[in-house]
Copies of this chain bind each other. A is one copy, B any other.
Amino acid sequence: MLKWYKEAGNNSDVIISSRVRLARNLKAYPFSAKLSENQAKEMVTKVKDAGLHLQEKEEKKYYSCNVDMLSDTEKTAMMERHIISPLLIAKEQSTGLILSEDEKISIMINEEDHIRIQSIVGGMNMTEAFYLANTADDITSELFDYAFHEKYGYLTSCPTNLGTGLRASYMMFLPALTVAGKVIKLAEELGQYGIALRGTYGEASKSLGSLYQISNQKTLGSTEKEIMDSLNRIVEQVMKQERRQREYILTNGYDEFEDKVYRSYGVLKYAKQLSSGDAMTLLAQLKLGADLALLKFKDNYNIHELMMEIQPANLQCQLDKNIGSVQRDKYRADYIRKKLPDIQ
């Protein structure tokens, strides 16, 4: 079964993935802040069983585990792949995880809320992401009574998630706007519409690989559809701006840009050591070049997959023993050299 990031998606030149997160809490237990360790343990054990239930109903494999069963490297690798959050890792209480084989659905147990259902699909496809999360929610809700208020909707640990408990977000690839220095201003503008723009790897001002998360901030007082529609309208605008900026590069600096893209390919193909930052910058150049058809790979190739695979913990997971950052930079260069497709 293909992982989500191996699939090509709509508008994948600008939109890497569409994600939905639903926050849910069980009536039977106090919210996170007041939950005792014993209650947490019991709750995690119960909710983990939802994995089996999902597997039966959805006819695809689900894994469940207590998070403390995972090694530090595995946890960090999952964070790099957006399966779990830093908060879940940092939490000292019992926590749990349910994960579908294709990594499209993950359920964090006892993070900020008792249950956080997350879905992720490649490209621009919020409808599918919402469908997946919603289906998982329906199946899970057969097992538990959720904390729900007729007027306020789903009750959550933090009031900002009250109501639908929905956060919809797109991971966007904005290299042209980044180079033009327009991302900070864009983030400020989006803020006025209740939309947050954050760097995926690092701050918005210098996110590695020009990857950004764009998500709704409000969950209360709107329906799921309203939230997603308003986010979509804005993301369409951002996509237009990014594409216009790419056109500008092609029109005003084609030669320099083409040279830069091919040099990036050359360095990725021959470097003997590559830091994560270096590699992300070079791969972003390459993806942009491929998106703009300046460079064609012999095989269909998803650069974003490589961007995720070369994150420190994901690389480490492929090895038997722990290596330091110098060795890792060498291994990263070797890995990229092997994976990088030939160009036509």
A residues contacting B by CB (< 8 A) are 255-256, 258-259, 262-263, 265-273, 326, 330, 333
Contact = CB atoms under 8 A, between A and B. Distances in A.
B273 A255 contact: yes
Contact of A271 (B263, B269, B326): B263
Contacts of A269: 266, 269-270
Nearest to A258: B272
A279 to B, nearest CB: 12
Contact of A270 (B256, B265, B273): B265
A156 to B, nearest CB: 49
A263 B270 contact: yes
A267 B262 CA distance: 8
A271 B258 CA distance: 9
A98 B20 CA distance: 80
Shortest 7 CB-CB contacts between residues of A and residues of B = A266-B270, A266-B266, A259-B272, A262-B270, A259-B273, A266-B267, A263-B267
Contacts of A265: 266, 270
A255 to B, nearest CB: 6
Nearest to A274: B259
Contacts of A330: 255
A262 B271 contact: yes
Contacts of A262: 270-272
15 contacts: A255-B273, A256-B273, A259-B273, A259-B333, A262-B272, A263-B266, A263-B267, A263-B272, A265-B266, A266-B267, A266-B268, A266-B269, A266-B270, A266-B271, A269-B270
Contacts of A263: 266-267, 270-272
Nearest to A257: B272
Contacts of A259: 271-273, 333
Contacts of A258: 272
Contacts of A267: 263, 266-267
A274 to B, nearest CB: 8
A143 B262 CA distance: 58
Nearest to A330: B255
Contacts of A256: 273
Given A255-B273, A258-B272, A266-B267, 8 more contacts: A259-B273, A259-B333, A263-B266, A263-B267, A263-B271, A266-B270, A267-B267, A269-B269
